[in-house]
Structure 1
């Protein structure tokens, strides 16, 4: 299955990988900034999000992204990943470093992180609501947890719609359940330059992840935003976009 996707602009390829609270629509505020800066932008929906259905066979997100790039004739790309999308970008960069030109990781997750008590409590509460059939309650829980205090109502509403849709797709009866295929990820194999962004109003886990990765990735840079929650690219794109474009121009100059 090919991931649902869209492509815009010309120049070096930038792949945008969404948070697992969202889908590729989360990147609407970045699309004009990146294309006008001289980049070709690929946005995709991971399986079970947006317009990509649940998998019909065992799958791996990083392999799905590699297959999509093969289909588009893209040999190398830079990645901008948010949260769970960052985790996918890290795996791609570790397993396929020759295809990865840069990584911008926004409040990224990472495969080997042990969640804090607060993050585990969130997960337990979400599970309880979904098991009780309260999809609306689980959706509101996610909006409250992940959207920062300075986001506007339109941003909250979009996150609400994206999360609700993801729940509906993922909870729909399936003929057969297919899990993801896990690969060992060696962070030392990542060779691309890395920008790490964390937010003051996010779960502390994601600041801790950024601090740890900044020590592990050679030549990386960590920026902590005092205004941001978990989704800074949506909450204040006017502040996030210049930072993102500057990093890409330094590492993957547009032609």
Structure 2
């Protein structure tokens, strides 16, 4: 683990695995309220395919600093840019899951896609988490406010609720307990202020700035970011490819683990 200082002094935890002279690089951005650990079951497949895998904990999550503020998409995108510049990454794939997908989209607009050769959006919270005139499939602001209120009073209960709607398939209790532990490891400030960002932020206009090959990977049973959002992203990102997972929920990366990993590596390697 590396600790890289962002431009406001916050220390961002970074995990850099694989040969440093590798020409194939992928950068992974986790979702809310997870950490880099969510990609545990993608890591072996990516390393086996010959990738250098760089992941990070967003500020306020995992091992990164909890800060008093700064939990907005612009700040997260700037943190990501600092990590990329510090590591000297110039040609890489950028993958974002859920809120991390929205942050990846903001990075593409705010930093003109610096270094990105391909983009992967996995059950992304884009174009917005909540309903807008451009996104009729999002969650309601009122329901999100209720989640914010619950989290401010009983954050583990909020995480348990999200865990209950995260998957469309049955998974073992030990696995679900592990995932709950990852969620609970987030800082209170980071988790709750990021949920406010999810409620308020919109990357619809940013989608049109994307000019790299883009794969959209989305569970058709997603109850957190409904599949209609994937169709909007597909329509707005020129030349994008949509990979639906018919029996998967928000956690398509685990609901359909083998097929997801196969499809992802195939897209990276131009096999599909």
Identify the TM-score tier after normalising by the shorter chain: 0.7 to 0.9
Provide the residue aligned with 1:147 in structure 2: 167
Provide the residue aligned with 1:130 in structure 2: 151
Q: 2:17 aligns with which of 8, 22, 28?
A: 8
Provide the residue aligned with 1:31 in structure 2: 43
CA distance in 2, matches of 1:98, 1:171: 27
Structure 2 CA distance for partners of 1:71 and 1:117, relative to 1, 3 Å: closer
State the TM-score, normalizing by the size of structure 2. Answer: 0.79
Q: 1:101 aligns with which of 114, 117, 123?
A: 117
Provide the residue aligned with 1:64 in structure 2: 79
Contact 2:138 2:229 in 1 (8 A): no
The count of corresponding residues between Structure 1 and Structure 2 is 243
Q: 1:49 aligns with which of 61, 68, 77?
A: 61
Task: Give runs of aligned pairs for residues 77-116 of structure 1, distance below 5 A.
Answer: 77-95=92-110, 96-110=112-126, 112=128, 114-115=130-131
CA distance in 1, matches of 2:156, 2:244: 32
Gaps of 5+ in 2: 1-9
Structure 2 CA distance for partners of 1:25 and 1:13, relative to 1, 3 Å: same
Q: Equivalent residue of 2:26, what SS?
A: strand
1:202 deviates by: 1.2
RMSD: 2.7
Q: Equivalent residue of 1:150, what SS?
A: coil
Q: 1:208 aligns with which of 228, 236, 242?
A: 228
1:235 deviates by: 2.9
CA distance in 2, matches of 1:137, 1:186: 33
Q: Equivalent residue of 1:215, what SS?
A: helix
Gaps of 5+ in 1: 173-178
Q: 1:161 aligns with which of 181, 184, 188?
A: 181
Contact 2:98 2:125 in 1 (8 A): yes
CA distance in 2, matches of 1:201, 1:6: 31
